[in-house]
Chain A
Amino acid sequence: MATNRNPGPVGGGALSSEFAGDPEMTDLVKMFVDEMPQRVDAMLDCWEKGQLGDLRRLAHQLKGASGGYGFPTVGQLAAQLETGLAAAGRAPDPQALDRLRAQVDELVGMCRRVTAEPPSGA
C-alpha cells in the first residue's frame, strides 16, 4: 500500500481555521495544527501497514475534532475516508484500494495545508 510520504508542495493555499480570530481558540488551534504532522504520519503508517481498522479510527477522530477547531473541510474528507474504509471492509479489492488511496492522499494533502495563521488579508 505505497503512498507518497513527501509529496512536495500540495495543491491549494494554506488553510486557516474558521476560529483564527477567536482569542479563546488561538492556543488550541495552534496545538491542533502543530500536532497535525504526527496525525498525518500515523495515518500513513496505518495505510502502509494495511491497518485499515486503525486508519478508520484515526479518520473518525479527525472527523469529530476538525470542525471544532475550525477546519470543517478536513473533517469532511476524514468522514469520506471513514465511510470508504467502512464500505471496503477488511480485504478491499484492487479497485477499492485505489479509491481509498486517493481518499488518503486527498485527506493528507488537506491536513498539510492547515495553518494556525489567520487568512492572508484578514
Chain B
Amino acid sequence: MSNNENNPQVLLVDDSIDVHRLLTARLRHEQIRLVGLTRGAEALEQVRKDPPSVILLDLDMPDMDGFEVLRALKDDQSTNNIPVIVLSGLHGSEDKVTAFDLGATDYVTKPFDLAELRARLRAALRLDRLLKLLAERADVDGLTGLGNRAHFNKRWAEKVAECRRYGHALSLAIIDIDFFKKVNDTFGHPAGDEVIQGVARLLQTTCRSPDVPCRFGGEEFALIMPNTGPRDAEMVVERLREAMMQIEWPRHPDHKVTLSVGLVGSDSSCGDVTGEQWLEMADQNLYSAKHGGRNRVVASDIQRACALNRAA
C-alpha cells in the first residue's frame, strides 16, 4: 500500500511488543497509518519497498541496533530524507549526539510522555511534507509550471531504461521556438515570456496523459512520449506545430510564432543506444528542421539514425 498524504504511513521499529501495543492504541486518533516491525533488517527492507513518512526507531534492538538502521537509512539516497524519531531508553547524551550526528530528526526517551510524542510526531510529519514539497518545486520550471531540465533528466533516464529492458516503444521530441530572439527584441521580454508560457500550455493540452513535457532551457522544450513509436509521435508533434500557428498573441497579433521540432523514436527496444545519443539525434533533427526552413518536424528512427551516424 503506498504512502498517502492524508493518511501518511508511520513505521514503528521496536523489539518490544508492549511498545507496539501502547503506541497503536495511543496514536489511533492521529491521521496516520501505523506499521510495526520488531527487527532492524526487516525495517530497512520495508522502507525501501514502501517508504513511510516518518520512522519511529528504537535504538537497543537485537541483531541490528537502531544506530545501524539509522546509518543504513541515511546512506541510501532513496531513504535519507525520511524523518526519523529515535525512541530510546538510552538516556546518555553520547547516544543522543550519535543519533543526531547520524541524521535523526528527533530523540524521545522512554518512558515517553504520550502528548509530547504526539506533538513531536506531528512536527516530523510537517517536516516530511515540506521536504516533499521542496523536492517537487526543485523539479518545476517557475515560468511555465512544466518539469525543468532536472526533472527531464530523471524521467528520461527511467524511460530509456524501460525501452531497453522491456522493448517498449519510445519517442523524444526537442521543440524550439523559431526566431524567439526576434520576439524578445521586437516586442519585449514580457511578450517573450508569454510565448514560452503559451507553448507550455499548448504542450499540456496537446499531449496525452503518459507524455512528459518539460522546459529544456531557454526557448527549448522536450517532449518524452512513452509507448509511442516515431510515426505516432510525429502525428502528435505535427498537431502541436499546427496548433501553434493558430495562436493569436495579444501583444503581437500580427506576428505568428512557429515551432521547429527534432524527433527520434523507436518502435521496440532501443538496444544499446544511450539517453545521450537519443538527445544528440533529436538535436541533429532539430538542426535539420531549422536549416530546412523552420516551422517543420524532422523525424527519424533512432536505430537507423545511429547506424547512419556510425557510417558517416
Q: Is A65 an interface residue (CB 8 A)?
A: yes
Contacts A/B (CB < 8 Å), 13 sampled: A24-B25, A57-B60, A63-B110, A63-B111, A64-B18, A64-B110, A65-B16, A65-B18, A67-B110, A67-B111, A68-B111, A69-B18, A82-B89
Taking a contact as CB atoms closer than 8 A, the residue among B22, B25, B26, B111 that contacts A75 in the complex is: B111
Q: Mark A7-26, 1 if CB is under 8 A from B, else 0.
A: 00000000000000000110
Give chain B residues whose Cβ lies under 8 Å from the Cβ of A63: 89, 110-111
Taking a contact as CB atoms closer than 8 A, the residue among A25, A57, A68 that contacts B112 in the complex is: A68
A60-B60, A63-B110 as given contacts; A68 in contact with B89, CB under 8 Å = no
Q: Is B143 an interface residue (CB 8 A)?
A: no
Taking a contact as CB atoms closer than 8 A, the residue among B21, B62, B89 that contacts A64 in the complex is: B89
Q: Tell me whether chain A's interface is mostly helix, strand or loop, or mixed.
A: helix
Interface size class of B (residues with CB under 8 A): 10 to 19
A63 vs chain B, min Cβ distance (A): 5
A57-B62, A72-B111, A75-B111 as given contacts; A64 in contact with B25, CB under 8 Å = no
Whole-angstrom CA separation of A60 from B112 in the bound complex: 14
Q: Is B114 an interface residue (CB 8 A)?
A: yes
Is the pair B60, A68 in contact by a Cβ cutoff of 8 Å?
A: no
CB-CB nearest in chain A for B109: A64
Whole-angstrom CA separation of A115 from B214 in the bound complex: 65
Give chain B residues whose Cβ lies under 8 Å from the Cβ of A31: 21
Q: Mark B105-123, 1 if CB is under 8 A from A, else 0.
A: 0000011101000000000
A residues 60-92 with Cβ under 8 Å of B? 60-61, 63-69, 72, 75, 79, 82
Whole-angstrom CA separation of A12 from B151 in the bound complex: 68
Give chain A residues whose Cβ lies under 8 Å from the Cβ of B26: 24, 68
CB-CB nearest in chain B for A32: B18
Whole-angstrom CA separation of A31 from B22 in the bound complex: 11
Whole-angstrom CA separation of A82 from B112 in the bound complex: 18
Whole-angstrom CA separation of A60 from B58 in the bound complex: 12
A80 vs chain B, min Cβ distance (A): 13
Q: Is B19 an interface residue (CB 8 A)?
A: yes
Q: Is B176 an interface residue (CB 8 A)?
A: no
Q: Is A28 an interface residue (CB 8 A)?
A: yes
Give chain A residues whose Cβ lies under 8 Å from the Cβ of B22: 28, 65, 68-69
CB-CB nearest in chain A for B24: A28
Q: Mark A32-65, 1 if CB is under 8 A from B, else 0.
A: 1000000000000000000000000100110111
Q: Is B15 an interface residue (CB 8 A)?
A: yes
CB-CB nearest in chain B for A25: B25
Taking a contact as CB atoms closer than 8 A, the residue among B15, B58, B111 that contacts A66 in the complex is: B111
